[in-house]
A = this chain, B = another copy of it.
């Protein structure tokens, strides 16, 4: 019934497989997480202290700034890598505070298009400038060469991770 019937060595082979040996990957993952958390926490604090804005609001505005013609909520959800409902709530509060405007698309009545308002855009550009400087400050000890190397290695990591993602609900 099982491979043992055919290839008797399998059971043993299995038993001899290293019971661990993926520790380095794990260490790398934990370090990645630590770095991200450190930076993220500090950016969050500075955004709060300096601009009275939360990180997710900043992130959303950052995405919008690169799309002067506006963007669909679904598109935003994909770019921010967060759930639909999350975007709905964030947008709601940002519209409320005057940073965003939201308009239905006449050609497709399901779609909502969001844009930065003038005030939103101008507030954001001050934040973005500071933000860029903060990151530069935090990464200061890395040389251009090291940055380049990290970019490349993380690109490879990303390429390694992507194919392992399981489709949540496969139809077909």
Contact = CB atoms under 8 A, between A and B. Distances in A.
Contacts of A81: 34, 37-38, 41
Interface string A77-106: 000010000000000000000000000000
A148 B150 CA distance: 12
Interface in A62-78: none
Interface in A22-45: 22-29, 31-42, 45
A150 B36 contact: no
A110 interface: no
Interface residues of A, number: 56
B158 A138 contact: no
A28 B147 contact: yes
A61 to B, nearest CB: 15
B153 A146 contact: yes
Nearest to A158: B35
